[in-house]
Amino acid sequence: MTTAPEDDGRSMRERMLAGELYLADDPELGELGARALDLADAYNATSARQGPLRRRLLAELLASVGEGTEIRPPLRVDYGRHLSIGARCFAYYGLVALDVAPITIGDDVQIGPNVQLLTPTHPVEAEPRRQKWEAALPIVIGDNVWLGGGAIVLAGVTIGANTVVGAGAVVTRDLPADVVAVGNPARVVRRLDEPR
């Protein structure tokens, strides 16, 4: 059974980033979320001809964004400031990155349309959920990963470098480097270093 944590003086944001239970409707978190929503809305309203403005908005919204990275609007985040994206990445339309815990995306990552990176978790028991208790675990995407359209990566998952995740796959646990994984739940169907 999940129980509410004792008050130890830490903020809900500190609890959230530590992967512990926190109250989702905390006012400080609400303000941070509203800021991110405003910045994401401004970003999503830009056109392809507004490259410098897009870059400035991303730099303000995200923890970091590498050189040569392009994210096609719309982009949806919880806070933005917990999302780091490396250099030369491309994300197609509709990326949802619920960065309640840190999301770290390496260099040269390709992200298909409507991909979801979901760090939040919720208690299974009804009462803590009703009281708005949540937790979150980080997601790490290695260099040169390709996430196919509609793929979903769940809380606490690390995907190794060069791995390909098929369209519509649901990644519920870590994937090693240099593999192809498909399905729900995603499973490795071959290694990339194996002869075909």
Q: Which residues are catalytic?
A: 122
Query: Which phi and psi angles does 59 have, rounded to 5°?
Result: -60, -35
Interatomic CA distance for residues 187 and 33, integer angstroms = 34
* Contact indicator for 112, 150 with CB cutoff of 8 Å: yes
- CA atoms within 13 A of residue 110's CA, in its CB half-sphere: 11
Residue with tokens 């929503």: 37
Query: What amino acid is encoded at 80 in this protein?
Result: G
**Quick check: helix, strand or coil at residue 120?**
strand
Nearest to 2 by CA among 129, 155, 138: 129
Query: Which phi and psi angles does 169 have, rounded to 5°?
Result: -70, 150
Strand order in the sheet with 152-154: 75-77, 95-98, 116-118, 152-154, 170-171
- Radius of gyration for the chain, computed over Cα atoms and rounded to the nearest angstrom: 17
